[in-house]
Chains A and B, each alone.
Chain A
Amino acid sequence: EVMLVESGGGLVKPGGSLKLSCAASGFTFSSYAMSWVRQTPEKRLEWVATISSGGSYTYYPDSVKGRFTISRDNAKNTLYLQMSSLRSEDTAMYYCARHLTADYWGQGTTLTVSS
């Protein structure tokens, strides 16, 4: 069974930093590109970052480029999202998702950016 378990969310002040993790199991993690997707309190879904299976290639939309960094440790079957210069509009539920087409999602971890 494919399982993705996110952790690391919390309450952060504007301008702060946080690192999310996603532990993967039930599939060959190193064979899949992985992504982070967020859902705002208004329920809008936004694709946040993607990393290739080997970690060589990454993609970010303009809204987070230069502030967020996606990475992975294939030996630990874990995906990461380092977030810095956080803004109130980054407040969302953050999901990790498998593959370039998001076929499996974790349960999510919540980030709240507020003073």
Chain B
Amino acid sequence: EIQMTQSPSSMSASLGDRITITCQATQDIVKNLNWYQQKPGKPPSFLIYYATELAEGVPSRFSGSGSGSDYSLTISNLESEDFADYYCLQFYEFPRTFGGGTKLEIK
């Protein structure tokens, strides 16, 4: 089973900041990685697929990068609506596995 280590587990930032969240897999997942945003009381929302591709309707301040076993989500110029939980998912193989999540809070 591929383990996904996501960091940090929580962080605080200010409006306008640029932040980065990382996910490390226990093996090469060949960019088979998605990022999701989750707000309280809502299901996860699709942000980025295949590590770098923005899902439909996602603002361009979100970006994804990485290869091999190391991936990151960057949010530039943080807006109030961006404060939420974020998760990565590897879909290289079954069982699909998620990162432990990052709680992004406003400073």
Residues of A whose CB lies within 8 Å of any CB of B are 35, 43-47, 50, 59, 61-62, 95, 100-108
Whether A103 contacts B55 by the Cβ 8 Å rule is yes
Q: Which residue of B lies closest to A63 (CB)?
A: B95
Proximity string of chain B (11-55) to chain A, C-beta cutoff 8 Å, 1 when within and 0 when not: 000000000000000000000001010000011111001000001
Whether B101 contacts A44 by the Cβ 8 Å rule is yes
Q: Which residue of A lies closest to B41 (CB)?
A: A107
A-B Cβ contacts below 8 A, count: 50
List of A residues within 8 angstroms of B82 by Cβ? none
Q: Is B71 an interface residue (CB 8 A)?
A: no
Q: Is B62 an interface residue (CB 8 A)?
A: no
Known: A59-B94, A102-B34. A45 touches B87 (CB 8 A): yes
Supply 15 further A-B pairs (C-beta < 8 A) apart from A45-B87, A47-B97, A101-B34. Answer: A35-B96, A43-B85, A44-B101, A45-B98, A47-B96, A59-B94, A62-B95, A102-B44, A102-B89, A103-B46, A105-B43, A105-B44, A105-B45, A105-B46, A108-B43
Give, as a whole number of angstroms, the nearest-CB distance from B46 to chain A: 5
List of A residues within 8 angstroms of B101 by Cβ? 43-45
Proximity string of chain B (62-97) to chain A, C-beta cutoff 8 Å, 1 when within and 0 when not: 000000000000000000000001010101001111
List of B residues within 8 angstroms of A61 by Cβ? 94-95
Is the interface on chain B under 10, 10 to 19, 20 to 34, or 35 or more residues?
A: 20 to 34
Q: How far is the CA of A62 from the CA of B94 in the complex (A)?
A: 11
